[in-house]
Amino acid sequence: MSGVAFDVASNRSAFPALDQEVDGHPLVYLDNAATTQKPRAVLDALEGYYTSDNANVHRGIHELSRRATEAYESARSKVARWIGAEDPTEVVWTRGTTEAINLVAFAYGLDRLGEGDEILLSILEHHSNIIPWQLVAARTGARVRYIEIDDDGEWILEDLPELVGKRTRIVALNHVSNALGTINPVERVIGHVRMHAPGAVVLLDGAQAMAHMDVDVGELDVDFYAFSGHKACGPTGIGALWGRKAHLEAMAPYQGGGEMISVVERDRSTWAAVPHKFEAGTPNIAGAVGMGAAVDFVESIGKPAILAHERGVVGYAIERLEARFGDRIRIWGPRAIERRSGVVPFSLDFAHPHDIATILDSEGVAVRAGHHCAQLVMKRYGVPATARASFYLYNTTDDVDRLVDALGQVENFFG
């Protein structure tokens, strides 16, 4: 389902938080890879839920509980359709990408990995897709291995024959990098894994893909797909894990509590069917409802149009930054515009990334600075941190001009 003609001004007006001043300057929000702003439709859905339907799900035999359950489950179905999943029961609500990956690491990995088994990651991963595997490897004797990256932030796939083999049990990779913006060639890796390590399961971290690219878990041929709602116009504290039904059914519960059981005895219990087996306790019902509204909103615009718009703005940003700062700026990540998402990480040779972000903030321009929870990437390039501007469906070339002007202030100060 693709949207009507892309209209950035109308996109922008849908996001109340964009309409404010910071330090006397109109806000330019360029921290979308950390979290996107929320459209009015999502805020209304949250308010509407709490105003008229608020109740616990799957429990009360009363009107409000019925409505809450219906809203919660229909948002699940919406998310399932959004990622090309035929069966909504394959979608487990989580707090976000981090919890989704931990769920697989602990409910799948811990019981299945042993001494000498291998988990394949890349050094381009967010810490959320490294630490859970290190924790599980330490408990099971499995070994974590990494795909390296080249100077342009692309995976070095020539190493795959050496990295993928009989011992590979789990392959966990990001679909799009948060630190460099690389759209990773996941299809090529998955094809290689299916051929050379047929017993391995593949998990994709879709945190940076979901808001920008059409995702079809069937076409991708993955076993698990994880993403966060808040990076795709949805509320914080909600996300999802999609998993193949057979895996989810074979996995032990991740957490115990209400809602995830079938029958409880003194010494043993049985579990509810998936996905409820993995949703112990009162879930984030409002978050799920807000996520459903976010899916509708993003789909009303259409991800191909969003990505095309981002490419235009990112291309303009790279051109302007390089023209203005020449060899004093280093823009990280792939050179080819079609190889990157809306993320533009950069370093200036005259200022530390944190100083850059602080001065930009005083000019009303919000960017992120730091290691972006990707310390292996920083180590690879020998830098402690980078500054990162990340663009979305409401950013314009005017925002880029404001960024470049504000960086001029950084130059005045430090240059």
Catalytic residues: 373
Nearer to ligand C6P by C-beta: 197 or 217? 217
Number of residues lying near ligand C6P (CB under 6 A)? 17
Q: Measured from the CB atom, is 11 or 128 closer to ligand C6P? A: 128
Binders of ligand C6P among residues 338 to 357 (CB under 6 A) are none
Among 33, 105, 173, 360, binds ligand C6P (CB under 6 A): 33
**What distance in Å separates the CA atoms of residue 387 and residue 334, rounded to the nearest whole number?**
16
CA dist., res. 116 & res. 258, Å (int): 37
Q: What is the Cα 292 distance to its own chain's centre?
A: 16
- Contacts with ligand C6P in 37-96 (CB under 6 A)? 96
Cα torsion through 48, 52, 55, 59, rounded to 10: -110
Contact between 253 and 347 (Cβ < 8 Å): no
> CB 245: neighbour CB atoms within 10 A?
14
Q: Is 174 in the site for ligand C6P (CB under 6 A)?
A: yes
What are the CA-CA distances from residue 148 to residues 155, 169, 339, 343, 379 (Å)?
Answer: 6, 19, 17, 20, 12
Binding positions for ligand C6P, 279-318, rule CB under 6 A: none
Name the minimum Å distance from CB 85 to ligand C6P: 20
Exposed e or buried b per residue across 98-126, where buried means at least 16 C-beta atoms within 10 angstroms of its C-beta: bbbbbbbbbbbbbebbeeebbbbbbbbbb
Considering only residues 228, 341, 386, 396, which one is a binding residue for ligand C6P as defined by CB under 6 A?
Answer: 228
Taking CB positions, which residue lies at the least distance from ligand C6P?
178
Using CB under 6 A, pick the residue from 83, 207, 241, 318 that binds ligand C6P: 207
Considering only 78, 368, 380, 402, the residue that binds ligand C6P (CB under 6 A) is: 368
Nearer to ligand C6P, 126 or 309 (CB): 126
- The region of 52-60, 62-70, 165-173, 203-211 touching ligand C6P under the rule CB under 6 A is 203-211
Query: What percent of the residues of the chain are helix, what percent strand, and what percent coil, each to the nearest 5?
Result: 45, 20, 35
Of positions 34, 43, 135, 305, contacts ligand C6P by CB under 6 A: 34
- Between 228 and 396, whose beta carbon lies closer to ligand C6P? 228
What 3 state SS string does 187-237 have?
Answer: HHHHHHHHHHCCCCEEEEECCCCCCCCCCCHHHHCCCEEEEEHHHHCCCCC
- Whole-Å CA distances, 55 to 240, 258, 324: 21, 16, 55
What does the alpha-carbon distance between residue 333 and residue 345 come to, in Å, rounded to a whole number? 7
Residues 369-388 that bind ligand C6P (CB under 6 A): 372-373
Q: Which of residues 92-131 bind ligand C6P (CB under 6 A)?
A: 96-98, 126, 128-129
Q: Which is nearer to ligand C6P, 190 or 366 (CB)?
A: 366
Q: What is the maximal distance between C-alpha atoms in the chain?
A: 71
Does 147 interact with ligand C6P (rule: CB under 6 A)?
A: no
Nearer to ligand C6P among residue 11 and residue 386 (C-beta): 386
Near ligand C6P by CB under 6 A: residue from 11, 69, 168, 208: 208
Q: How far is the CB of 176 from ligand C6P (least distance, A)?
A: 7
Nearest in space to 185 (alpha carbons), one of 242, 124, 244, 229: 124
Q: Which is nearer to ligand C6P, 38 or 368 (CB)?
A: 368
Dihedral Cα 104, 110, 113, 116, nearest 10 deg: 120
Q: Give me the least distance between CB of 377 and ligand C6P, in Å please.
A: 11
Q: CA dihedral defined by 53, 57, 60, 62, rounded to 10 degrees?
A: 30
Interacting residues toward ligand C6P by CB under 6 A: 33-34, 96-98, 126, 128-129, 174, 178, 205, 207-208, 228, 368, 372-373
